[in-house]
Structure 1
């Protein structure tokens, strides 16, 4: 495959990391269950940073398309075209409304929302849009099984690493070391970001949250950092880890599905990784971007 394909697949891999930031997010659910933070508050905290991350990637994609002379098509825009597209996309756009409405309204839990999302997507593909045939459904199951097997292997290896960390009491030692170095919340946040970005290179996201979040949260609250602020910053660090080799789950998925060399995807994804780290620094040191919506909704 050509270098251009590497750039296009990098867009796919990088854009998939926006999903765990804009609710609903399994990482936020794990964070809430592990630390006792409000899951709804974490969901609300992700709205503005998620939009900021998405817009940043759109701008980067635009300039990449110009630089690499990607083919483009001019489509005439009219009210009729807009209305037709909106009507066609309407059922699919209802998915996040149903999921978030159900969670925030107490109809079902965040875990149950995953099953609801799958059933609704299956209904759309087979009944509404009629794009899934029986053969395609079988292919989806086979491909999903293959991808899941790879991911489970990665998670299994990461869990071994997490066991070593726990057995050696590494999280507690790091927490004590952080408080020994400084009590300045800004420096603590910077050191935590560096540490979590490093951990994200080797440890699966869910395992990292379960092992590290309670200890690091106690450090954050000890220096005056708002718990919800820390919780979201940690989730965003974990999301960045989805793009960082050698573990980079999103990179492995794209490489496995397309057959493109892993090294090619890594080179192409570096600009997106820089954008994500930039957004991470912004929300780290401007907590108002995270906390404004939770405050409006009564979570703070």
Structure 2
């Protein structure tokens, strides 16, 4: 009964427009009061939730991304991508996607990527494409952030799912799907550009120019290799890798590009802290709710119900994927990881489903939800940057949403796309 009270309060407050962290907090308070639970448990559980070494990776990766933007590091990545693919049909869109891929390999967050890419690429995109198409490309490229390692979403999922899945394993599970998604988006941009008559925008391809831009961007392109390679190789943890990314991006911004000034550092730290605080608050306020779920034996009852409904793991996966598709349309993704991962991850293990496979599909499904209305956060970010209506953006973004769901379906049907690389690396 406490679970019903908690869920009821949460959805009422969320639908009224209350911030999700506060909705979670009040839903926990209501359940505690209804169940006559000592209120002292609530702050203790909240503190325990955020007192986590792996969780420190999120603000550190956010800060590394802020240093990249402040140090104009992205511009060198853009120049290199432009030298490679700028002259092909839809070249500027390809440059945006490859730049998003580079940014994703450092920040691991979609919203931060959309802000950085939007401010960097949209002025040029407006000159060659219509506003809706340019905004859709930026939003799609930004959505690589939670899929390409290091991914903040995967860190949150691994934290909430428990010991059944490792952060490093989830990181590697995202590599091949991330590459498929990148290639698919570039192919889609080529087709749409040809269909709409967009002219090539970059300079003619020249090996000398490519080598020059590669040399200028070399220190930047080395950063994800160093960070991700160190994490996968077991040299350091994801949190330590995030700290190295911060130091590396700071040094590159100050001494390589020389655009990051000392007086800009506090602003970068403040913006990273604000973004990270949102995730931290959600995790903290969600912990008492998951405590209520555990106290009411909801995971056990849900597992027994689902296993009594079907014994087929694929049917279970279909039910979960369908539910997440709907949840992603209405609930902020971090809140969904925090609320649902502790419930469904143990059931997936009981069905004998590979935890890496299930965890990646869980994350990927909710990542696509960041682009689906009515609560697609990336859509609202791009509407703010591009100053267009949500309706105008939706006319251009739906092919990219369909593409992401197609890649999700491929990963679901062919599990080796997700699991082959991490298993080969010993995860």
TM norm structure 1: 0.83
Structure 1 residue runs without a partner (length 5+): none
Answer yes or no: is 1:96 the counterpart of 2:224. Answer: yes
Q: Does the 8 Å contact 2:279/2:334 carry over to 1?
A: no
Gaps of 5+ in 2: 1-126
3-state SS, counterpart of residue 131 of structure 2? helix
2: CA distance, partners of 1:288 / 1:259: 41
Q: Residues 141-192 of structure 1: CA distance to partner in whole angstroms, max 9, x if unpaired?
A: 8987998899999999999x99999999987776555434322222221111
2:138 to 2, 8, 12: 12
User: How do 1:124-203 and structure 2 match up within 5 A?
Assistant: 124-132=252-260, 175=303, 177-203=305-331
Q: Please name the residue that 2:390 is paired with.
A: 262
Alignment of 1:79-90 (within 5 A): 79-90=207-218
What's the offset of the Cα at 1:280? 0.7
User: Partner residue of 1:120?
Assistant: 248
Partner in structure 1 of residue 188 of structure 2: 60
- SS across alignment from 1:215: helix
Q: Is the 8 A contact 1:154 1:247 kept in 2?
A: no
Whole-angstrom distance in 2 between the partners of 1:170 and 1:260: 44
Q: Is the radius of gyration larger for structure 1 or structure 2?
A: 2
Distance 1:170 1:56, change over 3 A: farther
Rounded to whole Å, the distance in 1 between the matches of 2:284 and 2:338 is 15
The equivalent residue for 1:31 is: 157
> Whose relative contact order is higher, 1 or 2, with alpha carbons under 8 Å and at least 6 apart?
1
In structure 1, distance between residues paired with 2:193 and 2:346: 44
Quote the Cα distance in structure 2 between the aligned partners of 1:70 and 1:115.
42
Asked whether 1:240 is paired with 2:368, we answer yes
TM-score for the superposition, normalised by structure 2? 0.60
Q: Distance in 1 between matches of 2:263 and 2:396?
A: 34
- 2:343 is the alignment partner of 1:215: yes
The answer to whether the Cα contact below 8 Å between 1:255 and 1:262 also exists between their aligned partners in 2 is yes
C-alpha deviation, 1:136, in angstroms: 7.7
Cα RMSD between the aligned structures?
A: 3.6
Write out per-residue CA displacement over residues 10-52 of structure 1, whole angstroms, 9 at most, x where no aligned residue.
0100111112111111111122222241111111111111111
| Residues 263 and 141 (structure 1), Cα distance of their counterparts in 2 relative to 1, 3 Å cut | farther
Are the structure 2 counterparts of residues 274 and 153 from structure 1 closer, same or farther at C-alpha, using a change threshold of 3 Å? Answer: farther
Q: Is the 8 A contact 1:31 1:213 kept in 2?
A: yes
The answer to which of 109-118 and 10-19 deviates more is 109-118
1:290 paired residue number: 418
Question: What do residues 69-119 of structure 1 show as CA deviations (whole Å, max 9, x unaligned)?
Answer: 223235333332221121122111112112213323445432344444344
Structure 1 8/162 Cα, relative in aligned 2: closer, same or farther at 3 Å?
Answer: farther
Task: Name 1:21's counterpart in structure 2.
Answer: 147
Partners of 2:396 and 2:176 in 1: CA distance: 26
Shift of 1:134: 7.5
Tell me what 1:276 maps to. Answer: 404
1:237-286: CA deviations, max 9, x gaps?
A: 12111111222222222222232222322232111110111111110111
SS in 1 for 2:330: coil
Q: Are 1:147 and 1:253, in contact at CA under 8 Å, matched by a contact in 2?
A: no
2: CA distance, partners of 1:151 / 1:268 = 30
